[in-house]
Amino acid sequence: MNAPATPAKADPVARRRTFAIISHPDAGKTTLTEKLLLFGGAIQLAGEVRAKQNRRHTRSDWMGIERERGISVVTSVMTFEYADCVFNLLDTPGHEDFSEDTYRTLTAVDSAVMVIDAAKGIEARTRKLFEVCRLRDIPIVTFINKLDREARDPFDLLDEIEKTLALDVAPMTWPVGSGRDFKGAYDLAHDRLRPFGADIDAPPLQFAGPHDPAFQALAGESVGAQAAGEIELAREACKPFDEKAFREGHLTPVYFGSALKTYGVRDLIDALAAFAPSPGGLDTASRHVDPRETKMTGFVFKIQANMDPNHRDRIAFLRITSGRLARGMKARLVRTGKSIALNAPQFFFAQERALAEEAWPGDVVGIPNHGLLRIGDTLTEGEDLVFRGVPSFAPEILRRVRIGDAMKARKLREALQQMAEEGVVQIFSPRDGSGVIVGVVGALQLDVLAERLKAEYGLDAAFEQSRFEICRWASADDPAELAKFLRAYPASVADDLDGAPVFLASSAFNLRYEQERWPQIVFSDVKDYQASGG
Ligand code: G4P
């Protein structure tokens, strides 16, 4: 690639690239993250992403679950600079039981990198995560990884992406061989190649075309001839890169490489600098907010508890959507109308946290607090705005919580309320006054809940089957109709954390039956956190 056209340093919005990496476990997300950090100047830190996670595991009790099962429950943010751009890489948990966390994180990015294992192609979880990206038409750059191993035919892989994801593909580079014969990825637009195994800072070699004897000599006889044929075919048959289609989420540029061998990673980061979108505007219930407005606004998409067990702190991750956040400023928490002082906003680097003196749209800052901030909260400089789109998904598992000591019922309620505000679980309070029901998407969430109830509140909780299996948010255009419906089923109606009514069904049949009986009621399996007004 040409050196990317990079934005002027003076324009903080144009410089920002806020993105996430989506992939099936084992495709190479962690390895790629390390290598991106390496290019981002955090060289001494690269290679320590894993180590850092391990250290964190040993730091707090409830994360023992992660340690035992070798999964990452933690979502974190990494900020680094490259080519005059500021990159904010939002990490997401690998395990699908924590997919709600991932979905919320994806509401805070402007683009995503999809990592695919070249031997495996599109896997189940890649497809699911891609579908979430599609809900918001997030532009996606594809990195086909592990070319240093035997790989599937590149046309096959591209075809699979196109067919299974209904996404146009534009190969930007083309793999020359794979496994032991891997020679590098050929830049289709510029006839260049960085030889595989060369120094990562070595400039690419320029060729007259894939039949250039110099290229053929480098590739070797059989690999060279096959690569030349494929490159010609790719140029003829594949869609050219179209920036507009990419930005609209309809086309993905594709790069080939090996994260482990730090190959193709520079192409990828150059691509992000050159054409991944800078922060865009965002809709609120009342108006569109442009990132270049002068007043600061932002929304909380994640709460992380226990990052430092020495201070029982909770960190709310705030994505800035407009204006400039300056340390010490006062912000209005729209849900409560209260003013809060942003005295210690923090940036995250691979290993460290540091006070953020200022932050701009696209940046994510951590705001330490003791339970004041919740997922979905909007902060402004005074205006009553509520951002849409930090979603809540109908849980797939519903359980009643039982504790041995009835005297601790109140403490349990408080603890569950806290956990729900952090997004660890969802809670539903039945209108008939019976015990709270917790809802989760994946069973591991229940394990985290149990460990945290014990470690932080001294509560020994057990989870019991509830008679409900399905939960749907109920709404209707006509408030009278909704009220009538809710009154009709006091034993099957509950309120969520925000007081929004949900219908609890004992089976899919039961749900379908009520849907037919109450055609004016909308039974929804997704809810914006603040849709009910909080
Ligand atoms: P994940 O975060 O997506 O789950 O994947 P991760 O980066 O942890 O990579 C999964 C495995 O794949 C790791 O091997 C890693 O070294 C390997 N890997 C990642 N990228 C490449 C690549 O480009 N080429 C090759 N050949 N392997 C790659 P592991 O043996 O499971 O872990 P480790 O012992 O190496 O840490």
Question: Residue 257: CB within 6 Å of ligand 1?
Answer: no
Task: Please say whether the beta carbons of 165 and 133 come within 8 A.
Answer: no
323: left (phi over 0), alpha (psi -120 to 50) or beta: left
Give mean pLDDT, residues 319-323: 96
Q: Return the percent helix, strand and coil in the chain, to nearest 5.
A: 30, 30, 40
Q: Give yes or no for residue 68 having a pLDDT over 70.
A: no
* Ligand 1 center to 32 CA (angstroms): 9
Query: What confidence tier does 180 reach under pLDDT thresholds 50, 70, 90?
Result: very high
Of 253-257, 348-352, 418-422, 481-485, the range with the lowest mean pLDDT is 348-352
Task: Please say whether the beta carbons of 469 and 398 come within 8 A.
Answer: yes
For 182-197, write each residue's pLDDT tens digit: 999 999 999 999 999 9
pLDDT at 57: 36
Give mean pLDDT, residues 401-422: 88
474: nearest Cα among 511, 522, 442, 425: 522
Q: Give yes or no for residue 45 having a pLDDT over 50.
A: no
For 94-119, write each residue's pLDDT tens digit: 666 677 788 888 999 999 999 999 99
Q: Give yes or no for residue 52 having a pLDDT over 60.
A: no
394 vs 141, residue with greater confidence: 141
Question: Residue 27: CB within 6 Å of ligand 1?
Answer: yes
Neighbours of 26 (CB within 10 A): 13
Q: Give yes or no for residue 173 having a pLDDT over 80.
A: yes
Atom of ligand 1 nearest to the CA of 25: 4
* Ligand 1 center to 425 CA (angstroms): 31
Fold classification of 282-380 is Rossmann fold (3.40.50)
The tokens describing 55, both together, are 């250290």
Query: What confidence tier does 2 reach under pLDDT thresholds 50, 70, 90?
Result: very low
What CATH code is assigned to 391-532?
Answer: 3.30.70.3280
Residues in the chain: 534
Of 2-11, 31-40, 297-306, 406-415, the range with the lowest mean pLDDT is 2-11
Neighbours of 525 (CB within 10 A): 13
Query: What confidence tier does 64 reach under pLDDT thresholds 50, 70, 90?
Result: low
Q: Give yes or no for residue 3 having a pLDDT over 50.
A: no
376 vs 135, residue with greater confidence: 376
* Ligand 1 center to 31 CA (angstroms): 6
**Mutation pick for ligand 1 pocket among 26, 123, 146, 150 (CB with most ligand atoms within 8 Å):** 26
Is residue 293 packed enough to be buried (19+ CB in 10 Å), middle (13-18) or exposed (0-12)? middle
Task: Indicate if the alpha-carbon torsion angle 524, 530, 533, 534 is positive or negative.
Answer: positive
Query: What confidence tier does 445 reach under pLDDT thresholds 50, 70, 90?
Result: confident
207 vs 24, residue with greater confidence: 207
Query: Within the chain, how many helices (H) and strands (E) appear?
Result: 15, 33
pLDDT at 285: 82
342 vs 303, residue with greater confidence: 342
For 253-273, write each residue's pLDDT tens digit: 999 999 999 999 999 999 999
Of 236-245, 345-354, 516-525, the range with the lowest mean pLDDT is 345-354
Of 36-50, 84-98, 364-378, the range with the lowest mean pLDDT is 36-50
459 vs 66, residue with greater confidence: 459
pLDDT at 306: 61
Task: Please say whether the beta carbons of 18 and 90 come within 8 A.
Answer: yes
pLDDT at 294: 96
pLDDT at 321: 96
Q: What angle do CA 309, 311, 313 make, to 5 degrees?
A: 95
Give mean pLDDT, residues 214-219: 97
At 112, give phi and psi (nearest 5°): -140, 150
* Ligand 1 center to 28 CA (angstroms): 5
Task: Please spell the DSSP secondary structure of 419-487, one letter per residue.
Answer: HHHHTSSEEEEETTSPPPEEEESSHHHHHHHHHHHHHHH---EEEEE-S--EEEEEE-SSHHHHHHHHH
390 vs 94, residue with greater confidence: 390
Task: Please say whether the beta carbons of 373 and 298 come within 8 A.
Answer: no
pLDDT at 120: 97
**Whole-prediction pTM:** 0.85
pLDDT at 310: 54
Give mean pLDDT, residues 489-510: 94
The tokens describing 304, both together, are 């992380």
Quick check: do 20-76+101-275 and 282-380 share a fold? yes
Task: Please say whether the beta carbons of 126 and 261 come within 8 A.
Answer: no
Nearest-CA residue for ligand 1 atom 29 is 26
Neighbours of 289 (CB within 10 A): 23
Q: Give yes or no for residue 32 having a pLDDT over 70.
A: yes
pLDDT at 465: 92
How many whole angstroms separate alpha carbon 439 and alpha carbon 502?
Answer: 12
Nearest-CA residue for ligand 1 atom 31 is 26
pLDDT at 522: 95
Query: What confidence tier does 44 reach under pLDDT thresholds 50, 70, 90?
Result: very low
pLDDT at 443: 86
**Mutation pick for ligand 1 pocket among 74, 182, 260 (CB with most ligand atoms within 8 Å):** 260
Question: Residue 258: CB within 6 Å of ligand 1?
Answer: yes
The tokens describing 17, both together, are 């690239």
The tokens describing 237, both together, are 């048959």
**Long-range CB contacts for residues 289-293, cutoff 8 Å, separation at least 24:** 289/321, 289/322, 289/385, 289/387, 290/322, 291/13, 291/321, 291/322, 291/361, 291/362, 292/13, 292/322, 292/361, 293/322, 293/323
How many whole angstroms separate alpha carbon 496 and alpha carbon 511?
Answer: 18
pLDDT at 7: 56
Nearest-CA residue for ligand 1 atom 15 is 28
pLDDT at 508: 95
Of 62-76, 342-356, 431-445, the range with the lowest mean pLDDT is 62-76
Q: Give yes or no for residue 4 having a pLDDT over 70.
A: no
Neighbours of 310 (CB within 10 A): 6
How many whole angstroms separate alpha carbon 46 and alpha carbon 350?
Answer: 8
Of 36-50, 151-165, 489-503, 505-519, the range with the lowest mean pLDDT is 36-50
Determine how β-strand 85-90 pairs with β-strand 16-23: parallel
CATH architecture, domain 20-76+101-275: 3-Layer(aba) Sandwich (3.40)
Atom of ligand 1 nearest to the CA of 259: 23
pLDDT at 379: 96
The tokens describing 342, both together, are 């942003």
Q: Give yes or no for residue 494 having a pLDDT over 70.
A: yes
Q: Share the mean pLDDT of the chain.
A: 87
pLDDT at 275: 94
Q: Map out the domains of the chain as residue ranges.
A: 20-76+101-275, 282-380, 391-532
